[in-house]
Amino acid sequence: MLEKKHQIAWLTWSSSGFSPRYWEHFHSANANVTQNNNVTNTSIPEMDPLILKFRASTNLEERIGLAHKLEQMVHDHGAVIPTYQVPYTREAMWRWIELPDWLGTETSGSLANTQATSQGYSSGGLFWINEDKKKEILALKNKGEAMEPLTIIDETYRIFPSEDADEAKEGE
């Protein structure tokens, strides 16, 4: 993909929540150059100064206004076609990783995100390590003993609750 020898691609990136990244994806400096994130080879000279202004601005209202203009330019160009966002997240972790009762927000993409890629907005990421539980679980593991799998289905934000969620709650 980064060698830019493709005609079309289906990607699951290019969004970063609160602070979009226009320069890497749409600035002319990155078009027709391999090994960067302008995989659409977008080169719109009128867009470049707006991207640089957006990148340099520390004023929220100005950034929002520029983002609206840039989003419209990306839309009009047609190189990016939004498809869908999955309405769920799946996580697997050791039981010593603990989460709050509320788990996440309606737009959480990850519940135990240790990376700063989301800028801390609506991504979950609030978790802690229960050291006592960790010792207990590792002791069981060292003895070759296993714990029963634990499945949590949280339908707080689901529009049409499923029957599976009731069954999972009964098994707790």
My answer on whether 76 and 104 are in the same domain is no
Last residue of a domain, one of 38, 53, 84: 84
SS3 content of the chain, % helix, strand, coil (to 5): 35, 0, 65
CA-wise closest residue to 71 among 21, 126, 135: 21
Exposure class string for 4-35: b at 16+ Cβ within 10 A, else e:
beeeeeeeeebeeeeebebbebbbbebeeeee
My answer on whether 3 and 72 are in the same domain is yes
My answer on whether 51 and 126 are in the same domain is no
pLDDT at residue 122, as a whole number: 44
Q: What is the pLDDT of residues 78-111, one digit of tens each?
A: 988 877 777 777 888 899 988 888 877 777 777 7
My answer on whether 119 and 74 are in the same domain is no
Cα(63)–Cα(110) distance, rounded to whole angstroms? 26
My answer on whether 162 and 127 are in the same domain is yes
pTM as predicted: 0.55
My answer on whether 76 and 146 are in the same domain is no
Q: What is the pLDDT of residues 25-68, one digit of tens each?
A: 899 999 999 998 888 999 999 999 999 999 999 999 999 999 99
CA 5-54-11 angle, 5° bins: 30
Look over the chain and give the mean of its residue pLDDT values, rounded to a whole number. Answer: 82
My answer on whether 19 and 55 are in the same domain is yes
> Could you write out the DSSP letters of every residue in 92-134?
---TTEE--TT---TT-S-SS--SGGGTTSSS----EE-HHHH
pLDDT at residue 121, as a whole number: 46
Last residue of a domain, one of 84, 108, 135: 84
**pLDDT at position 119 over 60:** no
Is residue 90, in this structure, part of any structural domain at all?
A: no
Is residue 120, in this structure, part of any structural domain at all?
A: yes
Last residue of a domain, one of 84, 117, 147: 84
Q: DSSP code of 35?
A: S
Cα(130)–Cα(128) distance, rounded to whole angstroms? 7
My answer on whether 104 and 80 are in the same domain is no
My answer on whether 13 and 71 are in the same domain is yes
Where in the sequence is the domain holding 77, given as residue range(s)? Answer: 1-84
My answer on whether 31 and 102 are in the same domain is no
Q: How many domains does the chain have?
A: 2
My answer on whether 59 and 110 are in the same domain is no
Is residue 91, in this structure, part of any structural domain at all?
A: no
Cα(81)–Cα(43) distance, rounded to whole angstroms? 17
Cα(22)–Cα(49) distance, rounded to whole angstroms? 11
